[in-house]
């Protein structure tokens, strides 16, 4: 990794961007990165965007966001979800994931996070 | 008693009179009074002289010592005041030197540095936000190099 500060700023800029293409860039570049720190920053940025597409990337994809193999990345994403001011869209996606997702593990994770969010 | 007798003996010894320079133009010149002391009781008869000298001396002891002590005390108090004043002044100077001036300089330097950095930094969030996602993607690729998983 050459300069994590520059990458962090790029992720932050994409997080603040209104263009829907910013979600695609974050997903392709960030959630597929081999570096845990970059994946964590990206997942948190996707949650902070609080849009349907960005939340869906971090909630419904196996190996990304709350389903990341790294516990640190998964926990950070869950923390970011819990810290949202408006949880409505996130709860809707979690409900849909619990009910309709094909993967059992993803469904279980979504159920746990949904329960946590209901308690918070 | 022995001390008083000794003092009397000292006082009874004749007073030395030095030579007076007659041709001195200045009557207050130190050389004029070289070694000469004028007795206080010049105009008293010689019999009463000793008595007067002793009483003057004893009186002067009683009067002089408290005055002298007071003088010492006042000098000490003055010194103490001066010391306190000086130390407080030094303290104030140090305070000014270590807090106000240094903080101002540090803050000024920091402000200049941050201003200069943001001026030349193309990777600040505020500048990056002005680019479209595709440009940001290209920049990300350039910065991260080989870290993107295939």
* Range A34-45 average pLDDT: 96
**B33/B145: higher pLDDT:** B145
Out of A9, A14, A33, whose CB is closest to B123?
A9
If you count residue pairs, one on A and one on B, with CB atoms under 8 Å apart, how many are there? 69
CA A95 to CA A101: how far, in whole Å? 10
* Range A79-98 average pLDDT: 96
B-interface mutation test, from A21, A29, A37, A39, most B Cβ less than 10 A away: A29
The ipTM of this complex is: 0.89
A window 68-87, beta carbon within 8 A of B: none
Out of B132, B144, B148, whose CB is closest to A2?
B144
Top-confidence range, A49-63, B25-39, B112-126: A49-63
Average pLDDT over chain B, rounded to an integer: 65
Q: What is the DSSP string of B26-91?
A: -TT-GGGGTT----TTTTS-HHHHHHHHHHHHHHHHHHHHHHHHHHHHHHHHHHHHHHHHHHHHHH
State the pLDDT at residue B21: 52
State the pLDDT at residue B11: 65
Q: Is the pLDDT of residue A12 over 90?
A: yes
Residue in the block written with tokens 């940001």: B136
CA B109 to CA B34: how far, in whole Å? 70
State the pLDDT at residue A15: 96
Out of A3, A21, A28, whose CB is closest to B143?
A3
In the 8-state DSSP scheme, what is residue B23?
T
pTM above 0.90, yes or no: no
Return the closest-CA partner of residue A87 out of A62, A57, A108, A116: A116
In angstroms, the separation between the Cα of residue A95 and the nearest Cα of chain B is: 30
The count of other CB atoms within 10 Å of the CB of residue A63 is 13
Q: Is the pLDDT of residue A31 over 90?
A: yes
* Range B71-78 average pLDDT: 67
| A49-53, A65-69, B103-107, range with the lowest pLDDT | B103-107
Contact of A1 with chain B, judged by CB distance below 8 Å, is answered with yes
**B102/B113: higher pLDDT:** B113
Return the closest-CA partner of residue A34 out of A73, A61, A89, A91: A73
B-interface mutation test, from A1, A4, A6, most B Cβ less than 10 A away: A6
Question: Under DSSP, is residue A81 helix (H, G, I), strand (E, B) or coil?
Answer: helix
In angstroms, the separation between the Cα of residue A99 and the nearest Cα of chain B is: 31
């Amino acid at each position: 990794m050459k300069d994590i500060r520059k990458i962090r700023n790029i992720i932050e800029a994409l997080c603040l961007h209104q263009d829907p293409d910013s979600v695609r860039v974050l997903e392709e570049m960030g959630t597929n990165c081999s570096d845990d720190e970059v994946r964590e920053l990206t997942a948190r940025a996707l949650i902070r965007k609080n849009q349907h597409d960005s939340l869906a990337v971090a909630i419904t994809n196996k190996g990304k966001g709350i389903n990341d193999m790294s516990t640190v990345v998964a926990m950070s994403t869950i923390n970011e979800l819990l810290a949202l001011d408006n949880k409505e869209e996130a709860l809707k996606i979690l409900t849909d994931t619990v009910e309709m997702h094909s993967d059992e593990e993803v469904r279980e994770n979504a159920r746990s996070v949904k329960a946590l969010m209901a308690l918070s | 008693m022995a001390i008083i007798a000794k003092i009397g003996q000292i006082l009874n010894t004749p007073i030395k009179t030095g030579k007076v320079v007659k041709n001195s133009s200045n009557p207050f010149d130190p050389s004029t009074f070289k070694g000469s002391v004028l007795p206080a009781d010049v105009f008293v008869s010689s019999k009463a002289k000793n008595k007067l000298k002793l009483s003057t001396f004893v009186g002067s002891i009683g009067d002089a010592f408290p005055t002298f002590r007071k003088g010492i005390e006042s000098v000490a108090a003055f010194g103490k005041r001066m010391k306190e004043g000086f130390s407080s002044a030094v303290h104030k100077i140090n305070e000014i030197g270590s807090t106000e001036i240094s903080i101002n300089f540090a803050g000024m330097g920091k402000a200049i540095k941050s201003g200069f950095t943001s001026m030349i930094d193309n990777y600040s969030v505020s500048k990056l936000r002005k680019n479209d996602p595709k440009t940001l993607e290209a920049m990300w690729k350039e910065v991260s190099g080989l870290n993107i998983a295939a």
